[in-house]
Structure 1
């Protein structure tokens, strides 16, 4: 429960109000306290226990009362606003800060509307930039916001009498969607009508006694209702005419219109010095006979006036039912092409009947009239009985398949659905009253296809339906959209499954189960170079990775090679054999399959002396084979591990400047990473740990990644 403020005509009514509320609250077991009045005579009738503690009738001054930031100085009978937070003392200007400052101004009557609307305009600009709540604003927007926040500190200097001329005001920023000035002025007139309806009851007057002043000649002319208008204007003009009399709407010059101050926005100092805002135009203090002449001229902007030619042309459209008819929608695969061809035909007929010929490209009205005529024909094909009943004012049967849409006829004789959004004027007329399209009609298919193509064939059924629902209501819309996607050749080609290559059987040396010992059959490959430091002031030296992998268990062994010559490779090979055991079969690259940019790496195995390798290994009983040239897929078993090894090593080393010892430690750490699980890691605690190559090598999963010296040097 918060404090409240109210006004009465005299002291007797004030005392009576206290007694009635005291009795009402007392019946509920509650008591209203902290009573304050600008009349000492009233306060004397109120017991001291119910008065505010600050009230001392023996003194001359009365205390001030505050409600949600609005201060009432009882002794002076004036209102005062709390000052804003002043300049922003935060280091970051964000959208959250802007909204917080705007919401901190408590102005229920809109007395500070010109100041608040300036902040709303800045807030709209922030939203248009697409910034997040805590993202810093751009410099230009940030400067505007900072100046506006600093300006709020002047609010404490505004003090107004309780009985003032501006009773209430209401402002809204123009929508981001582009809209003509006359339409914006019409929306302002609707806002003024709603504001008047909200204040007539507290002022104990009737709406028919209110005078509406506007500086838009277009809107005032429309309210006279001299012509038929397009739906946007017609609906709002109809609401205005239904609740007010056109004679209540009068014209005022822009320079004398107080609403112009609120629409433009201003600073606190400018507002305090603006007599037009606080007092209104001077002629209002005179009698109505001395007011300026209410001369409303014909509107200059006739864009909103509905063209009458389409009623004449629509009579020509639906008569032909032959499939050979040139304007039969079945003959077209594009909605836009059908509409344009139809519009040109309608223009030709119109030019033949009227003196004023229309030339050049199609205009917006011609295209819209063409769409309406085509949809009229489509609805007439499927809903002829429904249209006849609704035209006669009859109600559709509950068994009718569109009765649930509560259909109605609009000014263009189109069937539209009437849903639960009819009173929400913030959204467009087409969204509130979407056009009903029949299921499986070719016109419906063309419209659905157009929205499907607007989404570049990738937005999906739900997104297409949301776009379609902004203007149309399609029966069984999802099925219609899915059928369109199914018949779309572009989507069929894009979603078609690619042909899969049948992989050849694995080589015999990878599937033989003659021996389960690791590194019985081994493949070898090179990678590198890796640069290592040899001391201060010395040139970095190249080192290479020599990878050995078991063809059966996928175990990996990494050795560091100090060069590219055959002897260096044989030394690495002997170190491998000494630790892992002698293999029975070896496989390596032929050398010509290296296609990288590094010339040294291209020739790493090409430069190896095959005769020397075979002469050394044949004595030990090992079989050595080389894959054919230009066939890297023959060595996929070690090529994929080379890629994984390089990724693991670079993940350990990053950009560290390392020694030979640290590089060797990194190779060993990467070896532990590569010997990763071979089986699925289950989420169940009851399952055993996955099998890894390390189990074949030393009976456990593995150790640490790399020594701390390397990680620290990174």
Structure 2
């Protein structure tokens, strides 16, 4: 069975609808999946389908392909465009490329099938959008190959698909996809622009024929020059203003979870804690322990026996003053006089060299830090 299928010499894929049927009838996938031995006979149904396909291969003799891309009416002035279509079904996905030539003088159009290619769908379950994306990726690879092989200057490439989901993937600029879709979209964007792609309904998509099994006698002649715009004076696809958006529930869109943390800032948290104790001695001990801990982290030596009583005193007073007299501190730091509306204005307050608010007047010179 394998040798018979391989004996059909079709490197350019002109017989893609026919050879695809042979690949599907083989049925290699099911045989391998069921671990059927090489010498075991086929079932009656499988044998009937296989014999029918082999007999239809006799009609290949009458299948003819015109190899000249240009007709005698063409002048030396013409432009060339490559139109590649892709399609997928549950059993296979395929592409086909057509070379479209337009005479700049007579406006005659010549359309020729350049290459067709199909792949059998994987045995494991794959969604139709993924198969359609696989077909679009294959279309880009085929177009890249044809551009290298064809000796045409300024060959313009266009692509068509009947999957709006694939067009949404290609046109996407914001959402992130899972690895499968992300890698294939990146491959497509490397060789094409989103503006090169257009939507083609299934009835007008020639690749739809190549993704379904067909007898050789059932392959229409339009397969060789299929695009519906082939007889129009200007056969380039009209740029579409439709924006293909993706559904947020699309399983291929990678969900992004944002974790927000709300932090409540309490000014002078230490002052709030000081209100829990009514003993000044206890407060000084607590603050002293905090200072010792801080200085230990800074690798400085400080013990309870150190002359730090005044330091602790000033620290506690400054914290309390920053909490209750924040506006007064700002004015005093700027060396401004306090307005009479402020409570401390009548006490003629000032800042000592330690930054502590002290009462002015006669006590200005008697108190030091």
Give the TM interval when normalised to the shorter protein. 0.5 to 0.7
Aligned to 2:22: 119
Per the alignment, in what secondary structure is the counterpart of residue 194 of structure 1? helix
Q: Does residue 181 of structure 2 align to residue 233 of structure 1?
A: yes
Aligned to 1:334: none
CA distance in structure 2 between the aligned counterparts of 1:289 and 1:127, rounded to whole angstroms: 46
Aligned to 1:104: 7
Per the alignment, in what secondary structure is the counterpart of residue 166 of structure 1? strand
Cα displacement string for residues 630-680 of structure 1 (whole angstroms, at most 9, x for unaligned residues): xxxxxxxxxxxxxxxxxxxxxxxxxxxxxxxxxxxxxxxxxxxxxxxxxxx
Q: Quick one: structure 1 residues 296 and 279, their matched pair in 2 at CA, closer, same or farther if it must change by over 3 Å? A: farther
Select the residue among 216, 221, 226 that pairs with 1:268. Answer: 216
Aligned to 2:136: 189
Q: Quick one: structure 1 residues 308 and 287, their matched pair in 2 at CA, closer, same or farther if it must change by over 3 Å? A: farther
Correspondence list, 1:324-473, <5 A: none
Aligned to 2:67: 162
TM-score, normalised via structure 2 length: 0.54
Select the residue among 251, 259, 268 that pairs with 1:303. Answer: 251
Aligned to 2:48: 143
| Preserved CA contact (<8 Å) 1:185 1:219 | yes
CA distance in structure 1 between the aligned counterparts of 2:235 and 2:206, rounded to whole angstroms: 21
Q: CA deviation at 1:175?
A: 0.6
Select the residue among 129, 149, 152 that pairs with 2:57. Answer: 152
Per the alignment, in what secondary structure is the counterpart of residue 212 of structure 1? strand
Select the residue among 30, 34, 37 that pairs with 1:132. Answer: 37
Cα displacement string for residues 340-367 of structure 1 (whole angstroms, at most 9, x for unaligned residues): xxxxxxxxxxxxxxxxxxxxxxxxxxxx
Q: CA deviation at 1:284?
A: 3.4
CA distance in structure 2 between the aligned counterparts of 1:225 and 1:207, rounded to whole angstroms: 28
Cα displacement string for residues 438-458 of structure 1 (whole angstroms, at most 9, x for unaligned residues): xxxxxxxxxxxxxxxxxxxxx
CA distance in structure 2 between the aligned counterparts of 1:172 and 1:282, rounded to whole angstroms: 25
Correspondence list, 1:567-606, <5 A: none
Per the alignment, in what secondary structure is the counterpart of residue 210 of structure 1? strand
CA distance in structure 2 between the aligned counterparts of 1:276 and 1:196, rounded to whole angstroms: 21
Cα displacement string for residues 119-142 of structure 1 (whole angstroms, at most 9, x for unaligned residues): 111233333332222211122222
| Preserved CA contact (<8 Å) 1:200 1:206 | no
Aligned to 1:491: none
Q: CA deviation at 1:291?
A: 3.9
TM-score, normalised via structure 1 length: 0.29
CA distance in structure 2 between the aligned counterparts of 1:209 and 1:312, rounded to whole angstroms: 47
CA distance in structure 2 between the aligned counterparts of 1:207 and 1:290, rounded to whole angstroms: 15
Select the residue among 254, 261, 266 that pairs with 2:202. Answer: 254
| Preserved CA contact (<8 Å) 1:284 1:291 | no
Aligned to 2:191: 243
CA distance in structure 2 between the aligned counterparts of 1:289 and 1:101, rounded to whole angstroms: 40
Q: CA deviation at 1:312?
A: 2.8
Q: CA deviation at 1:205?
A: 4.2
CA distance in structure 1 between the aligned counterparts of 2:201 and 2:35, rounded to whole angstroms: 38
Q: CA deviation at 1:296?
A: 4.9
CA distance in structure 1 between the aligned counterparts of 2:223 and 2:212, rounded to whole angstroms: 12
Q: Quick one: structure 1 residues 159 and 289, their matched pair in 2 at CA, closer, same or farther if it must change by over 3 Å? A: closer
CA distance in structure 1 between the aligned counterparts of 2:187 and 2:37, rounded to whole angstroms: 39
CA distance in structure 1 between the aligned counterparts of 2:233 and 2:134, rounded to whole angstroms: 30
Cα displacement string for residues 460-512 of structure 1 (whole angstroms, at most 9, x for unaligned residues): xxxxxxxxxxxxxxxxxxxxxxxxxxxxxxxxxxxxxxxxxxxxxxxxxxxxx
Q: Does residue 191 of structure 2 align to residue 286 of structure 1?
A: no
CA distance in structure 2 between the aligned counterparts of 1:260 and 1:188, rounded to whole angstroms: 11
Q: CA deviation at 1:146?
A: 1.5
Cα displacement string for residues 243-270 of structure 1 (whole angstroms, at most 9, x for unaligned residues): 2111111111111111111101200001
Alignment: residue pair count: 215
Cα displacement string for residues 103-129 of structure 1 (whole angstroms, at most 9, x for unaligned residues): 110001100011001111123333333
Q: CA deviation at 1:292?
A: 5.3
| Preserved CA contact (<8 Å) 1:228 1:234 | yes
Q: Quick one: structure 1 residues 281 and 177, their matched pair in 2 at CA, closer, same or farther if it must change by over 3 Å? A: same
Per the alignment, in what secondary structure is the counterpart of residue 237 of structure 1? helix
Q: Quick one: structure 1 residues 246 and 287, their matched pair in 2 at CA, closer, same or farther if it must change by over 3 Å? A: farther
Q: Quick one: structure 1 residues 147 and 208, their matched pair in 2 at CA, closer, same or farther if it must change by over 3 Å? A: same
CA distance in structure 2 between the aligned counterparts of 1:208 and 1:225, rounded to whole angstroms: 26
Q: CA deviation at 1:286?
A: 2.4
Q: CA deviation at 1:303?
A: 1.2
Of structures 1 and 2, the one with the larger relative CO (CA 8 A, separation 6+) is 2
Q: Quick one: structure 1 residues 206 and 144, their matched pair in 2 at CA, closer, same or farther if it must change by over 3 Å? A: farther
Cα displacement string for residues 149-207 of structure 1 (whole angstroms, at most 9, x for unaligned residues): 11111111111211251101111100111111000110111111111111112212479
Aligned to 1:215: 162
CA distance in structure 2 between the aligned counterparts of 1:256 and 1:168, rounded to whole angstroms: 18
Aligned to 1:171: 118
Q: What runs of 5+ residues in structure 2 fail to find an aligned partner?
A: 70-111, 263-369
Cα displacement string for residues 584-621 of structure 1 (whole angstroms, at most 9, x for unaligned residues): xxxxxxxxxxxxxxxxxxxxxxxxxxxxxxxxxxxxxx
CA distance in structure 2 between the aligned counterparts of 1:169 and 1:312, rounded to whole angstroms: 49
Select the residue among 194, 198, 205 that pairs with 2:145. Answer: 198
Q: Quick one: structure 1 residues 232 and 206, their matched pair in 2 at CA, closer, same or farther if it must change by over 3 Å? A: farther
Q: Quick one: structure 1 residues 298 and 157, their matched pair in 2 at CA, closer, same or farther if it must change by over 3 Å? A: same
Q: Quick one: structure 1 residues 259 and 308, their matched pair in 2 at CA, closer, same or farther if it must change by over 3 Å? A: same
